[in-house]
Structure 1
Amino acid sequence: MTTAKVGVKKHLTSSIPLWVRTDQPRQTGMDYWKGPHSKIISATPGLEEYRQIHLAEDNPGRWPVTDGVETSIPVDRKIDGVAEVTFHSALSPLLGRKQTQLAYKDEINVFRRTLLYTGPPNSSRWYDVAGPGEAVGARAMVYLRRRDGVGAGEFRRFMKEQLVPALAATGVLKELRTQTFLPWIEKLWDTPNVAHDNPHDQQFHASLILGFTDTAARDAFFTSNVPAELSKQLAPLAAAIHAYDVDAALTYVKNGTVLPHYEQ
């Protein structure tokens, strides 16, 4: 299968990994993010979509063990959730600056570390892999770290020409989204009183969101030979592949409209 056979919509998306505070129960932080904090982000002008990806608390790493590739997720860097913010256009982030300042101030109430990854326009791609009426009942989120010496262009080409077709060809995915990131710059999201430490050897360069019919289908995918075969191709390019189980994906803004209640 080639990517030409899979419909794709291209977007401008920011991906913000989040770590909730540890001086209160984890669920308290996740609930605050889902409630009060979501209202601040949802009110931002210029959004096409706003989605919260709540990652499972127990996430040692789903990707199969691969020689020379970090597939186990380090406990001290294990992400709690990801804010997925998709804009109408490249000018949209400018429209939302006032609301973004409110989000900056509110972060301390819930998070201990936040990082902003963003890409150029059209670098966020949503592939049409689901049939009519097919719903997503379980998801995984995969972060990829490029090896030193591997070029960004080479990595992007591999994702587009090898990784996406291989994943789409499995026929089991009900959602497939990919992002490739520009080099991480702390000053783009340097919020007060919250950590933004992101050493070079911990930074990511791309992400995938994989949607399945249910948790059984997700389990079957990760124990199949598909990830193992992909690992053989990825190993020369990727230094780390961190695959997280997703507990929930909550949509607050959809098709440019703020929803009265999030959709799951």
Structure 2
Amino acid sequence: MSTTFSKRFSSSILLWMRTDKPREIGMNYWKGPHSRIISASPGLDEYRQTHLAETNPGLWPATPGLETGIPAGRKIDGVAQVAFQSVFSVLAGREQNKLAFKDEINVFRRTLLYLGLPNWSRWYDVARPGEKVGSRVLVYLRRRDGVGGGAFRRFINAELAPALAGTGALQELRTETFLPWSKALWNTPNVAHDNPGDQQFHASLMLGFPDTATQAAFFAGSSLASLSARLARIASAAHAYQVGEALTFVRDGVILPHYQE
């Protein structure tokens, strides 16, 4: 299986819906009015909303030394994933971001921005011609205490991602490694940004499968069990979320007339 990839500059905003309204109302507002605010930001290469399933105890296989159960109190509802055309896109989007800041209170109760440097995100060429992704899992990884950021990134890029690509099970593989989290990067008004050090993440994986049967076999298989044992030496948590919907609003720098799944 090919391990060729393109390097990207991207960010992810982890989102928790308000609890004083039905979750479905919040999810629909996010992909409706709120999506139009974000999509209009200049300099975006891609804008995707990843809506996570409401029930998500954690799909990653149980592994000694690795937290794989998702704590109910920190369970994420969705993730806004943005890829930028260039580093200058972040500056170009400041005015539009002000509108997004004001709108967050209408739908979210907590938002956390994770950002990497340019080229810290990698999108792998694993799709087979003519096949589409039928099921996705989004995984967040926490670096183990005592492991340096450079060693962690090298493991993700040089060992974990190529091994995942080499399984032949994936139709999509995207990795992100993050700078240390800072509240100052996305300190929006009227919503929470609490993120204790022992709850922070340092990388993510988007895993796409042709269907749910292939996904189930992958997570139950010996290849992932062996890989997870290696991961546990460098990571302390692997929270694997079932994705409900992955909706793209901007692709290749173009705002789509309607989101695409």
Gap runs ≥5 in structure 2:
none
Partner of residue 160, structure 1: 157
Amino acid at match of 1:121: P
* 1:221 maps to 2:218: yes
CA offsets 1:47-96 (integer angstroms, 9 cap, x no match): 00000000000000001111121100000000000000110000101001
Q: Which residue of 2 aligns with 1:21?
A: 18
Contact 1:63–1:227 (CA under 8 A) maintained in structure 2 = no
1:245 maps to which of 235, 242, 246: 242
SS of 1:209's equivalent? strand
Letter in 1 for 2:70: I
Identity value in percent: 66
Q: Is the 8 A contact 2:136 2:209 kept in 1?
A: yes
**Residue 80 in structure 1 maps to residue 77 in structure 2:** yes
Which residue does 1:210 correspond to in 2?
207
Q: Are 1:102 and 2:99 an aligned pair? A: yes
Which of 188, 201, 204 is 1:191 aligned to? Answer: 188
Partner of 2:129: helix, strand, or coil? coil
CA RMSD across the alignment = 0.8
Cα deviation for residue 162 of structure 1 reads 1.0
Deviates more, 1:222-231 or 1:178-187: 222-231
Counterpart code for 1:223: A
Q: Return the alpha-carbon distance in structure 1 between the equivalents of residues 44 and 77 of structure 2.
A: 23
After TM superposition, give the deviation of residue 18 of structure 1 in Å: 0.2
Q: How far apart, in 2, do the equivalents of 1:235 and 1:132 lie?
A: 34
| 1:130, distance to aligned residue in structure 2 (A) | 0.7
Runs of 4+ with >3 A deviation: none
**Distance across 2 between alignment mates of 1:203 and 1:36:** 29
**Could you give the per-residue CA deviations for residues 1-43 of structure 1, whole angstroms, max 9, x where no partner exists?**
7xxx422111100111100000011111111001110000000
106, 116, 121: which one aligns with 1:119: 116
Output the TM-score relative to the length of structure 2.
0.98
Q: Write the distance in 2 (CA, Å) between the matches of 1:221 and 1:30.
A: 29
Answering whether residue 49 of structure 2 is matched by residue 52 of structure 1, we say yes
Deviations 1:113-156 (A, max 9, x none): 00000000000110000121121011000000001110111111
Q: Say whether residues 1:174 and 2:140 are aligned partners.
A: no
One-letter amino acid of the counterpart of residue 81, structure 1:
G
Match of 2:130 in 1: 133
CA distance in 1, matches of 2:166, 2:80: 28
- Whether 2:255 is the aligned partner of 1:258: answer yes
Aligned to 1:9: 6
Q: Would you say the 8 A contact 1:176–1:209 is kept in 2?
A: yes
The aligned counterpart of 1:32 is 29
SS of equivalent residue, structure 2 residue 56: coil
Contact 1:145 1:239 in 2 (8 A): yes
Q: Deviations over 1:167-186 (max 9, x none)?
A: 11111100000000000000
For 2:90, the equivalent position in structure 1 comes to 93
In structure 1, the gaps of 5 or more residues are: none
